[in-house]
Amino acid sequence: MLHLDHLRLTQDGFSVTADWSLAAGSRLALLGPSGAGKSTLLMGLAGFTAPSGGRVLWQGRDFAALPPAQRPVSILFQDQNLFPHLTLAQNLGLAIHPRLRLSAGDLAWVDAVLERLGLAGYGPRKPATLSGGQLGRAALGRVLLQARPILLLDEPFAALGPALKADLLGLVNDLAAEAGTTVVLVTHDPLDARRFADVVGLVHDGIADAPVATEAIFANPPPALRAYLG
């Protein structure tokens, strides 16, 4: 269980608070207008900002003091998920071992992941030679290899267009289900939330509400959601 215990995150003088928990294996969409604090919350969970109050626990253990790489968390950014000067295999290898000292077993694992993502044989290529959809899948490979119980997605694949984005979100869905990963997705698109998430958390005016079942919240939208949907 992911537990945000009176958590307060502050970035550039702006604060967002959250006090709720999320069952392991859930898929949560954080929905709300831009500037409401969605990204601040996500960056705090990933470990780029230290909390200014409260705790954040996974399976009962507080990880608020850990650096990003030691948290039970992996993250997909909006872009810049791969280093352009390294090959795909090197990029994915970094997720296993930051010094890139890879054993034959590690390399086989990288190849297996590339194959699973439909990128078999793409290991020696640089990111610039890939299409947008392929880049998205390669970035997913990176988080797959990190193999963390929580996956954070910051408006992922937003630049790709609706069809490709739906494809990739479907892939995330499958992979998360296979591994039992808890997923937190930040989006401003209600359609993403409806299609992907089983719970939705509204973020408005610096408050992240407790998650509510997706069908329930869209069937009977609270005032903040109604205002956002227009």
Partner 1 sequence: MANRSVQISAWALSGGIVVLVLGTALALAVQAKGIGLHPADWAALRFTLIQAALSTLLSVLLAMPVARALARCTFWGKRALIVLMGAPFLLPVIVAVLGLLSLYGRNGIFNHTLQALGLPTVTIYGLHGVVLAHVFFNLPLATRMLLNGWHAIPAERFRLAQTLGLPSTFRHVELPMLATVLPGIALSIFLVCLTSFVVALTLGGGPAATTLELAIYQALRFDFDPGHAALLAAMQFAICAVAVSMTARFTLTEGLGLGLDRASVGHKAHWVDVPVLGLVSLFLILPLVAVIIDGTPALLHLPALVWQAALRSAVMALVAAGLSVTAALILVQAKVAGAPLVEGAAMLPLATSGLVLGTGLFVLTRGFVRPEAMALPVTVMVNALMALPFVFRLLLPQARDLHRNYDLLAQTLGLCGWARMRWLTLPRLARPLGLGAGLAAALSMGDLGVVALFAGQDQATLPLVVQRLSGAYRMDQAAAAALVLVLCSFALFALCDIGGRRAAP
What does the binding site for partner 1 look like in residue numbers (CB under 8 A)? 46-48, 67-70, 74-75, 77, 80-81, 83-86, 90, 94-95, 98-100, 126, 146
Minimum distance between the CB of residue 227 and partner 1, rounded to whole angstroms? Answer: 31
We find the least distance from the C-beta atom of residue 195 to partner 1, in angstroms, to be 26
Sequence-ordered list of residues with C-beta below 8 angstroms from that of 209, at least 6 positions apart, any chain: 20, 201, 202, 203, 222, 224
**The tokens of 62 are what?**
């507080």
Q: Which is nearer to partner 1, 84 or 180 (CB)?
A: 84
Residue 85 CB, nearest approach to partner 1 (Å): 3
Contacts of 104 (CB under 8 A, 6+ apart): none
| Smallest distance from partner 1 to CB 69, Å | 3
Beta strands in the chain (DSSP E): 2-11, 14-22, 27-31, 53-58, 61-62, 73-76, 150-154, 182-187, 199-204, 207-208, 212-213
Give the helix, strand, coil percentages of the chain, each rounded to 5. 40, 25, 35
* DSSP bridge pairs for 10: 15
Q: Which residue, 128 or 163, is less far from partner 1 as judged by CB? A: 128
- In whole angstroms, the minimum distance from the beta carbon of 197 to partner 1 comes to 23
99 vs 104 by CB, closer to partner 1:
99
How far is the C-alpha of 125 from the C-alpha of 61, rounded, in Å?
Answer: 40
The Cα angle at residue 166 between residues 38 and 45, in degrees rounded to 5: 25
Residue 171 CB, nearest approach to partner 1 (Å): 20
Q: How far apart are CA 188 and CA 161, in angstroms?
A: 15
Nearer CB in complex with partner 1: 4/95: 95
Nearer to partner 1, 151 or 225 (CB): 151
Give the single-character DSSP code of 98: T
Nearer to partner 1, 20 or 77 (CB): 77
Q: Work out whether strand 182-187 and strand 73-76 pair parallel, antiparallel, or are unpaired.
A: unpaired
Instruction: For the CB of residue 80, give the shortest distance to partner 1 in the complex, in Å.
Output: 5
Of the pair 184, 202, the CB lying nearest partner 1 is at 184
